[in-house]
């Protein structure tokens, strides 16, 4: 047996005419079988479908906390429902052409290559990192181009055209040359319509969740967190520093300063003062499930079951891994069910997700805390809305601990104080949340249908 027989190698014979002098590409992935497949189709370069494709120049990032300035998104946050809240100056955003506009197609080109997002009303006007390419697509093509670049064919091309020995990257000059198949205009129109309708669904979902968040404050008579002026010994308010009393020390004997941060203190005081009916999370939900630890045998989609990690729960379209159905111990314990609320417990803390018309029957990492509301005591949609609000988030964060990687535990978050408005008010908020999640599911369904149309057109199935 030859040594090569032990490996599953992909080899391709390349015609010398494919090696153009202007590209001088001799890296193997540039001549993948996917490219040979595309070469057999009628194509035009991506630039043909666009008014402009560009990357802003490199710039020094000076992040602010001033909400009057321009909201900033890093490359990794393009595909996120819950990006980090950071700002850069409006003047810098405008001078460097960092702001994105509705309808532009955004393409990540550094590290994780090929995350695609059509700029929607949610991020319209935000400043976006310079390593995200902007494609200003001609009218009637933005949804189609986004669908193709997000497809297995287009995404593979983006990675094939990328360069870099250690960290892969690709920018506008290379992206503009990506070959886009020319298919029937009516199919293009159908794909475009489905993708843009998916964008609208996510915009409507975002609006519903914002309304739910506003009602959480209104029905509980709670002031917005921006109105909170926590006590501090620093007259310039550059540092959150205050004195504590011995009666604030709990049986946990917490000596880390963050546990006594003034924002969390005021939040708890506000709930006690303004919400006559409130309870600890421990009394209204089951937080005891810790998730099963087992060796993860990753397999392909056909032989596995979707596995959610901490980053997946905030992604617009999760890039699942799949674990083996037959070789994973305690698989049943890892399965998710409707009504559960997931909370990230390590690394980036406090990210939340409601299991509703999305990941029922999937599995999840032990690094995601499961909260199962007792529906006789609280509406699950309302509880999700509160935990994902500032009043819930800062209570979760006060318990973080860890010398290297931040952690929170089920026992700790179960001490969070939850206001309980009238049952009909809880249901109103919960119904908004559930409607928002239905729209998210609809968006994914529409994108899947668009991808199916694209695949049929390219393979003529």
DSSP 135-192: EEEPTT-HHHHHHHHHSHHHHHHHHHH-B-SSS-B--HHHHTT-EEE---HHHHHHHH
Q: Which two tokens stand for residue 442?
A: 């609809």
Q: Which fold has domain 10-182?
A: Adenine-n6-DNA-methyltransferase TaqI; Chain A, domain 2 (3.90.220)
Q: Which CATH number fits domain 221-426: 3.30.420.40, 3.20.20.370, 3.90.220.20, 3.40.980.10?
A: 3.90.220.20
How many other C-beta atoms can be found within 10 angstroms of the C-beta atom of residue 97? 14
- For residue 223, the 8-state DSSP code is P
SS3 255: coil
Instruction: Identify the pLDDT of residue 4.
Output: 52
Domain ranges of the chain: 10-182, 221-426
Q: For helices 423-459 and 142-150, give the axis angle rounded to 10 degrees.
A: 80
65/85 Cα distance (integer angstroms): 8
| Domain 10-182 identical in fold to domain 221-426 | yes
Instruction: Identify the pLDDT of residue 405.
Output: 83
Instruction: Identify the pLDDT of residue 236.
Output: 59
Dihedral pair phi/psi, residue 421, rounded to 5°: -75, -175
Greatest extent of the chain over all pairs of C-alpha atoms, in Å = 79
Instruction: Identify the pLDDT of residue 331.
Output: 83
Alpha helices (runs of H) in 220-287, residue ranges in sequence order: 262-274, 281-284
pLDDT string in tens for the chain (461-residue length): 555 565 565 666 666 666 654 566 666 666 666 667 777 889 999 999 999 999 999 888 788 888 889 999 999 899 888 888 899 999 999 999 999 999 999 999 988 899 999 999 999 999 999 999 999 999 999 999 999 999 999 999 998 888 887 888 999 999 999 999 999 999 999 999 999 999 999 999 999 999 999 999 999 999 998 766 666 655 655 565 656 666 666 656 666 666 777 788 889 999 999 999 999 999 999 987 766 666 778 888 888 999 998 888 889 988 888 998 888 878 888 899 999 999 998 878 889 999 999 999 999 988 899 999 999 999 999 999 999 999 999 999 888 887 778 888 898 899 999 999 999 999 999 999 999 999 999 999 999 999 999 999 998 84
């Amino acid at each position: 047996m030859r040594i090569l027989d032990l490996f599953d190698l992909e080899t391709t014979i390349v015609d010398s005419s494919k090696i153009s002098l202007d590209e001088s590409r001799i890296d193997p992935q540039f001549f993948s079988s996917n490219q040979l497949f595309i070469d057999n189709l009628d194509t035009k370069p991506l630039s043909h479908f666009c008014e402009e494709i560009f990357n802003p120049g490199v710039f020094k990032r000076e992040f602010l906390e001033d909400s009057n300035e321009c909201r900033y998104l890093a490359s990794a946050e393009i595909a996120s429902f819950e990006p980090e809240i950071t700002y850069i100056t409006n003047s810098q955003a405008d001078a460097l052409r960092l702001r994105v506009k509705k309808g532009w197609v955004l393409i990540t080109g550094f590290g994780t290559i090929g995350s695609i997002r059509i700029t929607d009303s949610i991020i319209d006007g935000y400043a976006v990192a310079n390593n995200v390419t902007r494609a200003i697509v001609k009218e009637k093509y933005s949804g189609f181009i986004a669908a193709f670049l997000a497809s297995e064919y287009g995404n593979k091309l983006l990675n094939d055209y990328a360069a870099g020995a250690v960290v892969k990257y690709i920018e506008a000059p290379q992206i503009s040359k990506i070959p886009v198949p020319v298919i029937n205009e009516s199919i293009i129109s159908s794909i475009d319509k489905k993708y843009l309708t998916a964008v609208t669904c996510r915009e409507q979902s975002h609006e519903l969740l914002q309304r739910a968040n506003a009602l959480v404050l209104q029905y509980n008579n709670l002031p917005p967190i921006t109105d909170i002026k926590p006590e501090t010994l620093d007259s310039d308010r550059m540092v959150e520093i205050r004195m504590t009393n011995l009666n604030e020390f709990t049986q946990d004997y917490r000596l880390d300063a963050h546990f006594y941060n003034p924002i969390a203190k005021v939040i708890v005081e506000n709930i006690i003062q303004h919400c006559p009916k409130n309870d600890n999370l421990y009394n209204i939900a089951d937080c005891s499930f810790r998730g099963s630890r087992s060796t993860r045998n990753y397999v392909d989609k056909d032989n596995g079951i979707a596995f959610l990690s901490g980053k997946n729960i905030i992604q617009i379209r999760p890039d699942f891994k799949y674990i083996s159905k037959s070789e994973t111990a305690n698989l049943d314990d890892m399965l998710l069910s409707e009504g559960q609320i997931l909370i990230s417990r390590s690394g980036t803390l406090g990210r939340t997700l409601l299991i509703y018309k999305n990941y029922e029957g999937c599995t999840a990492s032990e690094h995601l805390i499961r909260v199962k509301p007792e529906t006789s005591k609280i509406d699950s949609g309302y509880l999700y809305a509160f935990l994902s609000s500032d009043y819930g988030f800062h209570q979760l964060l006060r318990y973080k601990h860890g010398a290297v990687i931040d952690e929170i535990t089920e026992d700790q978050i179960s001490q969070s104080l939850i206001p309980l408005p009238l049952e009909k008010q809880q249901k109103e908020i919960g119904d908004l949340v559930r409607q928002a999640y239905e729209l998210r599911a609809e968006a994914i369904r529409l994108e899947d249908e668009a991808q199916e149309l694209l695949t049929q057109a390219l393979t003529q199935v």
